[in-house]
Amino acid sequence: MMHAEESSFPMAPAAFPSGPALVPDAPDAGPVRRIPRAVSPGEVPQGAELDHPSLYFNRELGLLDFNWRVLHQATDPRVPLLERVRFLAITSSNLDEFFQKRVGGLRRQLAAGVQTLSLDGRTPRDQLQLISDAALAMHAAMSAIWDHELVPLLRTGAGVVVSRYAELGDAQRAALDDFFREQFYPVLTPLAVDPGHPFPFISNLSLSLAVLLRHRARSTMHFARIKVPTSTGRWIPVPHSEQPFHFVPVEDVIQANAAALFRGMEVVSVAAFRVTRNADVARDDDEAEDLLSMISEELRERRFAPAVRLEVDRHMPPEVRELLVRELELKAEEVYESDGLMDLADCAQLADLDLPAHRYEAWEAVVPEPFRHEGETEEEKNIFSVIRRGDVLLHHPYDSFTSSVLRLLEEAADDPRVVAIKQTLYRTGVDSPVVRTLLRAAERGKQVAVLIEVTARFDEQNNIQLAESLEDAGVHVTYGLVGLKTHSKVLLIVRDEGGRPRTYCHVGTGNYHARTSRLYSDLGVMTCNPQVGADLVNLFHFLTGYAPDQQYERLVVAPRDMRRTFEERIAREIQLQRARGCGRIIAKMNALDDAGIIQELYRASQAGVRVELIVRGHTRLRPGLPGYSDNIRMISIVGRFLEHDRVFYFHNDGDPEIYLGSADWRERNLNERVEVLVPVLDPALQERIVQILHYALNDNRLAWELRSDGEYVQRRADPGEPEVNYQELLMRDALERGRRPGSRPWELSL
């Protein structure tokens, strides 16, 4: 039997002054530290109703707790060194996004006087204070891990040296000074602040240097700002080094040469700082006459949105710090001090170094088994004949996206019998192979219709450019529905076969993005089931025209009927548990925060239904609460690939119903987005999905168990038991299917 481990989490001394105490793992073991947590639920009063705040975790703090689990990967010696650096970079990037979206949204609520309580009973002001406390600890932990753990390990373990300018030899500093004069001096634009020079605009997430100056003749003090350029990258190779990989941060080189920019002035101090701005800009979809124009205007507003965080060098003079706080209209608790480097997201550039021994072993996705057996005639060789032989289940990145989804699109673009291609695009690159294929299909005279969700957060500008390029090629482009974000991942191809149209469909959990298909774990189904095809035809009529009352036979579509479908399936498991004792639900998703679904799951647990949840990110549901969620078990899997698939399994008295698609159990997915789930009908495909879920539930390497108090504890194998790494098992199974078609996966008991 596996058990949960109170996992070691290295921290700098006093990094968490109010954090958890050291806890011994066993009577004879040395002390270890639990992973920190932000959530702090209250005691559940006796007889509490299912909507009582004590039965729920806070969503915002849960997002920070997911980031703690990501940061833990940066400290785990079982993870290759450069991948640990990458996890640190991901943690930093996640925290940036959290401040832009979540803190920005709460700040906006506070400014508007909103007093509405969150599901766990907290006001926006309460949540902002808790976030500030938790984020301070996370900032400190990231700096400590970088300075005291990863930098020394990079030097001793991989021969990668990251130095500060002051640590370099005279010849190296002289060479970098020459580099400054050649590369930076002509480019930099120092901006003074005085009555003739207003305080400069500080762009979001840019790294800057605050320079305090003294006039040599008048002894007056002055302030100037230097924006650190990004053109050279964050890391400058150090000349005359014995190490092949030796770098210094770009801001160090500029800081050391700042006096060259202010001749006649004395440089008193130079300190780095960084500003984060709100990305949660208010908009009124109902009043929008043109979604594209509305989003373009929102992007302009976001650039000048209020600041929500200021990161400063701990040694910045108080008067400079006060000036920044005043000009950016921030409060003291919105300032985060740093002892070392800021913007650790740039460590990703170091993680990309060509040092294979310190990275994950390269993974080459496998051509899915159905597509490896070519027929004899041209018609039998095409992908449509494969799909006609039976539904195809795809699991990326284990199954190749290029050899499946992209191949389907490419063959459709080139097949003279294909008359129409319709697709939703949420996040994809302007120059992606998916887009190039759609352009080719339009050029060849096919009817191509694409719905591009221009409101996809942080991808708006990219999606606007994408829409314009597709429209220029004659593609029918729509931008989504007013008031609803289209998050579904669907592709419909109509092919003329014997004078009659036949539909070929793909419904998935992930975006049509070739790059992320190699990094994200996603599921999809290809089918020519006529009912699914008819449903997708109706869905596209709803998305592109005026058809709000469409009916769907097989697909489950939000916001129309998805919530009702889930509630009915949960209620059925409750009835079956009471009648036969066989109720069971397994669900895998990114996040779980919908109050209605959580209450239905609490009722299922109270009835004795066995509920197993695999939730990668945040959750508001508290598992394991006596009398409420005794029968609910929840894990989070954090590993090499980002768990992004959504799968829902209902036992149904031994005749299981399984759905996969784009929706999490979140209020926004069920109420505010167009989401699509497809039932998995083929018994062989159902068996494969069940095996995937079994692997996840039995994982003792990547899985974190969530306790009722909000603590996540990492599992580990008992002595003598094999380590079960969910993602490695899936890679091994994919390779095994490639070598021996029809082979069965490694069996695990649930």
Residue 185 marked as a ligand binder: no
**Token representation of residue 73:** 């990967």
Identify how many contiguous H helices and E strands the chain contains and give both numbers.
Answer: 21, 30
Q: Is 457 annotated as a binding residue?
A: yes
Least Cα distance to 211 among 318, 316, 340, 343 occurs for 316
Place of tokens 């030097």: 155
Q: How many angstroms from the chain centroid is the CA of residue 340? A: 26
Residue 461: which residues within 8 A CB-CB, separation 6 or more? 299
Work out whether strand 476-478 and strand 673-679 pair parallel, antiparallel, or are unpaired: unpaired
| Measured CA angle at 70 (ends 69, 71), to 5 deg | 90
CB 370 within 8 A of CB 392: yes
Which position among 487, 513, 618, 651 bears the catalytic label? 487
Residue 508 CA to residue 395 CA, distance in Å, equals 10
694 is catalytic: no
Taking phi first (over 0 means left), then psi (-120 to 50 degrees means alpha), and beta for anything else, what does residue 749 get? beta
Cα(375)–Cα(719) distance, integer angstroms = 50
Q: Is 644 annotated as a binding residue?
A: yes
Contact 441, 476 (CB under 8 A): no
CA distances from 293 to 283, 289, 476, 484 (A): 12, 8, 18, 17
Helical spans, DSSP H, in 278-416: 291-303, 318-327, 348-351, 378-381, 383-389, 407-414
Q: Is 263 annotated as a binding residue?
A: no
Among the listed residues 694, 523, 717, 716, the one whose alpha carbon sits nearest the alpha carbon of residue 614: 694
Helices (H), 163-313: 170-179, 250-256, 291-303
Buried/exposed 162-197: b ≥16 CB within 10 Å, e otherwise: bbebeebeeebbebbeebbeebbeeebeebbbeeee
Going by the DSSP 8-state scheme, the letter that residue 743 receives in this structure is: P
Binding residues: 94, 427, 457, 520, 616, 644
Which residues are catalytically annotated? Answer: 487
Binding residues for ATP: 94, 520, 616, 644
Binding residues for Mg(2+): 427, 457
